[in-house]
Structure 1
Amino acid sequence: MLEKRKSGNFKILNLGEMAFTRLDSRCLYTLLICMAFGSTLSSNAEINVNAPQDFEIVDPGYLGYLYLQWQRPLSLDNFKECTVEYELKYRNIDSENWKTVITKNLCYKDGFDLNKGVEAKIRTLLPGQCTNGSEVQSSWAEVTYWTSLQGNLGTKIQDMDCIYYNWQDLLCSWKSGMGVHFDTNYNLFYWYEGLHHALQCADYIKVNGKNIGCRFPYLESSDYKDFYICVNGSSESEPIRPSYFIFQLQNIVKPLPPDYLSLIVKSSEDISLKWNMPRGPIPAKCFIYEIKFTEDDTTWVTTTVENEIYIARTSNESKRLCFLVRQKYL
């Protein structure tokens, strides 16, 4: 074995010591790398976040337009500089599909069919830039909501029908529930965004003193919005189950028939059929017209966007010609 000697400030090692020293340095370096990597994993694994607090569904009395609201979760002090988001899912209980919303707010509003229950769930989301690169999600907070289900199903109104005549006059009608007591009467309430509270029908259609429909007043700024209706009832003999409806007025428009239908026979074969559009707020470009023409025992139907059409008779011997014109809102 070679001896160790000192020369100045240098230490001379033998071959065995040199090999051991190099091996020891590599192991130490590898150990440091492993420790650093292990520390990063441990840091990520410890990051978690709570679900939102006080999650609830609030009914403000708008006949189906509900508020879903919550509070920030606890233990967010370490993430004050982060933008916290919430994933909200909700549906009517018998629906197959959830509606999903990602929001930074603490409240969300939407319409629901209150003939059925409502269920919703929410969780907190922390973005990757706040959690070393991967999004962190909390567990779900869940809530359900039901309106009062008093009264048997048979006490609800039947055959509810609403028509918005010529985009001006809304009329709804219904039939009484099956087997209800003779003293049962129904009341209609409605709401749409822009009203401060739900209103009761002020002009009922009555038969034998019972309400069987409603004529609505002028509905300012009500188009292209969800229109909510509730028809409930009262009876001294039994509770009455309420009925809820949601629709948009432009989808139930029924235009008036054309005005001043005129027929001009230009020759033995050619006939000109012309009519005027009825007065009202609906623009002419929004109509399509259906014409039904019967000649003896032959009938055919055609459509046009114009308010005039030329028709050729198939026979000069025709004994009966009949024309019907109606219009449809596109």
Structure 2
Amino acid sequence: MAFVHLDVLCFYSLLICTAFSSVSSNAEIKVNPPQDFEIVDPGYLGYLCLQWQPPLFLDKFEECTIEYELKYRNIDSEDWKTIITKNLHYNDGFDLNKGVEAKIHTLLPPHCTNGSEVQSLWSEATYWKSPQGSQETKIQEMDCVYYNWQYLLCSWKPGMGVHFHISYQLFYWYDGLDHATQCPDYIKVDGQNIGCRFPHLEASDYKDFYICVNGSSDSHSIRPSYFIFQLQNIVKPLPPDYLSLTVKNSEEVNLKWSMPQGPIPAKCFIYEIEFTEDDTTWVTTTVENEIRIARISNESQQLCFLVRSKVNIYCSDDGIWSEWSDQQCWKDLSEEKRSLFSSRHILLTE
């Protein structure tokens, strides 16, 4: 029995030694963070490059595929964006009105580390545009509209308390342009730039569109303003036209209109209809350019409607409603005819 007890003790001792040996083996596997991590501004008004070099002493991991976990955000944002990549750089857009921070570490896969993933320490980087001028000198109320998915127009108001002689300039960039480009056609009021008419923007849809409006003055510096949006999300279509209102019977009304003119596909529209029956008005929406409405009362004397359009969620994240169309009405003339007949009958009788 003593020999059996001794064998059990040896067995458990062997297990404990093996476990500690395994822990010790894994603890010895370490990897360095990436080198030379930095955030580079290539001059694209917010489209930045995060780049780095491989960590030191990777010779013993030549058979392993090294990955990197990258996290980044604008400094006031609550959420980090996370990317796992094998590359040595990553590009994305940032709001340059705010600072940018990022961090990265090296990942070793489990098959290279006895079954557990090994991570390096973090390497960190930040980026700020050097602030110029006071906050009050920035432009105000920037408004950009992509009219009928054909031409872009942006307008703004000068900063608070700025002198009349300040000159604002707009620059823009999107993926496909070689460099940031200045507005070719400024909108001016009393010689001051207050907007920009853009040229035809080829292959610019569904891409981040970057704008910077800065300025120059002999007396003081002007704070630049940065904007990022996608053109399909600020489209304002033309209103529908050729409206038709038909009273099918005493209970149903058929409303129909033509699709707005221009390059926007029919599948991209949503319509809002305002319908009036005598003194009662209500609003509804549809993705078709025709709708049937039940009358509240077959005694109603006048029916009217108008309609406007917007790019729907199948083609954009958002959009701008068009202007309202001209109003189309139907009026029940039977009562007028009866009154006219009664008047004539009275006159003839007299």
Structure-2-length-normalised TM-score: 0.80
2:59 match? 77
What letter corresponds to residue 188 of structure 2 in structure 1? K
Matched, 1:94 2:113: no
**Is the 1:269–1:316 Cα contact (8 Å) retained in structure 2?**
no
Per the TM alignment, residue 305 of structure 1 is displaced from its structure 2 partner at its CA by 3.2
2:200 match? 218
How far apart, in 1, do the equivalents of 2:40 and 2:192 lie?
Answer: 33
How far apart, in 1, do the equivalents of 2:219 and 2:277 lie?
Answer: 59
Matched, 1:291 2:291: no
What letter corresponds to residue 165 of structure 1 in structure 2? Y
1:180 match? 162
1:259 match? 241
Change (3 A) 1:261 1:135: same
What letter corresponds to residue 305 of structure 2 in structure 1? F
Per the TM alignment, residue 25 of structure 1 is displaced from its structure 2 partner at its CA by 10
Match of 1:163 among 130, 145, 156: 145
1:190 match? 172
The total of aligned residue pairs comes to 310
Single out whichever of 304-313 and 126-135 deviates more from structure 2.
304-313
Match of 1:208 among 183, 190, 194: 190
Per the TM alignment, residue 304 of structure 1 is displaced from its structure 2 partner at its CA by 3.1
What letter corresponds to residue 51 of structure 2 in structure 1? Q
Q: Which one has a bigger Cα radius of gyration?
A: 1
Per the TM alignment, residue 283 of structure 1 is displaced from its structure 2 partner at its CA by 1.4
**Is the 2:278–2:300 Cα contact (8 Å) retained in structure 1?**
no
Per the TM alignment, residue 33 of structure 1 is displaced from its structure 2 partner at its CA by 7.4
Once the two structures are superposed, residues 168-214 of structure 1 have per-residue CA deviations (whole angstroms, 9 ceiling, x without a partner) of 11111111111111211211111111111111110111111111111
Matched, 1:66 2:48: yes
How far apart, in 2, do the equivalents of 1:310 and 1:23 lie?
Answer: 91
Matched, 1:125 2:125: no
Unpaired runs of 5+ residues, structure 2, are: 313-350
SS of residue in 2 equivalent to 1:56: strand
What letter corresponds to residue 68 of structure 1 in structure 2? L
1:8 match? none
How far apart, in 2, do the equivalents of 1:317 and 1:149 lie?
Answer: 65
Structure-1-length-normalised TM-score: 0.84
Per the TM alignment, residue 303 of structure 1 is displaced from its structure 2 partner at its CA by 2.7
**Is the 1:270–1:313 Cα contact (8 Å) retained in structure 2?**
no
Change (3 A) 1:149 1:316: same
Change (3 A) 1:40 1:212: same
What letter corresponds to residue 215 of structure 2 in structure 1? G
Matched, 1:48 2:30: yes
Once the two structures are superposed, residues 128-168 of structure 1 have per-residue CA deviations (whole angstroms, 9 ceiling, x without a partner) of 21122221111111111001211111111111111111111
Single out whichever of 272-281 and 175-184 deviates more from structure 2.
272-281
What letter corresponds to residue 274 of structure 1 in structure 2? K
How far apart, in 2, do the equivalents of 1:240 and 1:287 lie?
Answer: 41
**Is the 2:277–2:300 Cα contact (8 Å) retained in structure 1?**
no
